[in-house]
Chain A
Amino acid sequence: MIYSERVMEHFANPRNVGEIENADGIGEVGNEKCGDIMKMYLKINNGIIEDVKFKTFGCGAAIATSSIATEMIKGKPIDEALKITNKAVVQALDGLPPAKLHCSVLAEQAVKTAVADFYKRQGVDPTPIVGVIEDRCEDCHGH
């Protein structure tokens, strides 16, 4: 299993690490049993993601995917951020080993969960906008 230089670069120097005080939306995905938890904090103004920070417990790929996902959505309108798929995350990192693809799924879900939280705080049902965020944890276990 070999990581691309891009993965190692984001792992060694992750962007946007930390928390946002009074964040407008917070999303946490994964669980400690699987060995990955990602928590994403958003500051949203006029539909634009003005700031984003993350904290991740997990492997090299989990840290790198969170880091690059924050770069990809920072300064973007919400609807554009929601279009970022796990495949785009993988591509931006010049690929991930097959066993690590689930980390990119987590990164996508972390963004969506944080945006959904933002809408919930506004009293808006997030499902029609964000879609259903599936718990994919079972994909990893039991095989």
Chain B
Amino acid sequence: MSNSNNPNEIIYLDNAATTRISPAVLNAIQPYLNELYGNASSLYSLGRESAKTLEKARTDIAEAIHCEPREIFFTSGGSESNNWAIKSAAMLIAKQGKKHIITSAFEHHAVLHVLAGLEKQGFEVTALPVYKEGIVRVSDLEKALSEHPDTGLVTIMYVNNEIGTIQPISELAELCRTRGVWFHTDAVQALGNIPVNIEKLNVGFLSLSGHKVHAMKGVGLLYVNKKILLPALIEGGAQERGFRAGTENIAGIAGFAAAVKEAVINMETKNAKLLPFREKLYNSIMKLERVHLNGDYEQRTINNLNFSFEGIEGEALLLHLDLAGICCSSGSACTSGSLDPSHVLLALGLPHEIAHGSLRISMSEYTTEAEIDRFLEVLPGIVKKLRDMSPLWEIINTNLSLKAF
């Protein structure tokens, strides 16, 4: 218990949930909290300073992700960006008489719940399968587009948040482009792990979030291709050229720009550092009995691993790890806040009982080898303890020994 009370001793392996603020980000944020706190819409110099910072951040980010500054709209984060892109694009396509939207079965809830709402308003939604590898197939999109000529929008995530699998976004988006269908991607988990290059991605809309890349919570952006006039979701003042009302979060945005630059510059070094950690984790954990890797090993971001341990439940695993000062996450029902396990793991075709026993490990550039070693030292004992007291494990073992005869 004592470990988990001291943040310095915490082993943080939940960077897909959120990340710590980096020193460069902290530096970038600080002046805008109590010195340069002006409203970017104000005319006096304090306000102009904020406006300048805002536009500098926009230019820096545009350069880092290869788009034009005017194509970037700051938002409160990934959820808002996804909501805005999908809801507003749906309004536009409906005007063209298109009422069909294609997505994947394992999108973030900020996409799936929005689509469920649109279905109630008369839109039709097709969710493409992701198979056991956790990857959408271009041929499936092609087929769905042919079957539904009234498709106006496709929204598919770049990297899945639970299993880290990378989707073939440029191929999927190119297919849509040739057919005049808009493409949105939730790239929140991609930035800093794989290249996010708008020029190469062919997308109309792309969502990013600050706090997944060592910036503050509450800041993100939506990239909107300059050819599309996307109606505002948040209406009010004339901020973001009238497309997103609300006084700009200058401190957050300044930090976000610093974070995006760092994420892009450090990506290769970080991946080179984390690759052996991932191999070590994978090789050690797969030596345990009845463990499964969820999602493809190769086509995933280097920072992510997701396992299922048969016979145990994920929340119990997380709580024991927490007692040892280690933070991870699980797709078990108990941690999803509902009574069914994660829709991502079910979309891979996992049975409920295996999805309940999942564990996600997500590293960052701050992860150290000593932390990985400590985690690997603690994990087998916890798995054994929980299996020793699990009647399900007893059933699995009985069935196994029966099969052996």
A residues whose Cβ falls under 8 Å from a Cβ of B: 1, 8, 11-12, 14, 17-18, 28, 32-39, 54-63, 99-100, 102, 140-141
Contacts and interface: CB of A to CB of B under 8 A. Distances in A.
A93 B323 CA distance: 19
B322 to A, nearest CB: 9
Nearest to A36: B313
B274 to A, nearest CB: 30
Contacts of B333: 34-35
Interface in B267-295: none
Nearest to A34: B339
Given A1-B337, A12-B323, A35-B341, A56 B389 contact: yes
12 contacts: A1-B337, A11-B316, A11-B319, A12-B320, A17-B389, A28-B391, A34-B339, A35-B353, A57-B392, A62-B313, A63-B316, A99-B334
B162 to A, nearest CB: 17
Contact of B319 (A34, A60, A141): A60
B391 A35 contact: no
Contacts of B388: 17
Interface of B: 1, 311-316, 319-320, 323, 332-334, 337, 339-341, 351-353, 356, 388-394
B385 to A, nearest CB: 9
Of A8, A57, A99, A141, the most chain B CB neighbours within 10 A belong to A57
**7 tightest Cβ-Cβ pairs between the two chains A and B:** A32-B353, A59-B334, A57-B392, A59-B315, A35-B356, A57-B390, A39-B391
Contacts, number: 77
Given A37-B392, A141-B340, A57 B315 contact: no
Given A18-B389, A33-B351, A59-B316, 15 more contacts: A12-B320, A12-B323, A35-B352, A35-B353, A37-B392, A38-B391, A54-B389, A55-B394, A57-B312, A57-B392, A58-B316, A59-B313, A60-B316, A99-B339, A100-B334
Contacts of B352: 32-35
Given A62-B313, A99-B337, A56 B390 contact: yes
B396 to A, nearest CB: 9
B332 A35 contact: yes
Nearest to A66: B389
B323 A59 contact: no
A110 B136 CA distance: 43
A20 to B, nearest CB: 14
A100 B339 CA distance: 10
A140 to B, nearest CB: 4
Contact of B391 (A8, A33, A37): A37
Contacts of A8: 319
A70 to B, nearest CB: 12
A141 to B, nearest CB: 6
Nearest to A8: B319
Contacts of B353: 32-33, 35
A113 B353 CA distance: 23
Given A12-B323, A33-B352, A33-B353, A55 B389 contact: yes
B169 to A, nearest CB: 34
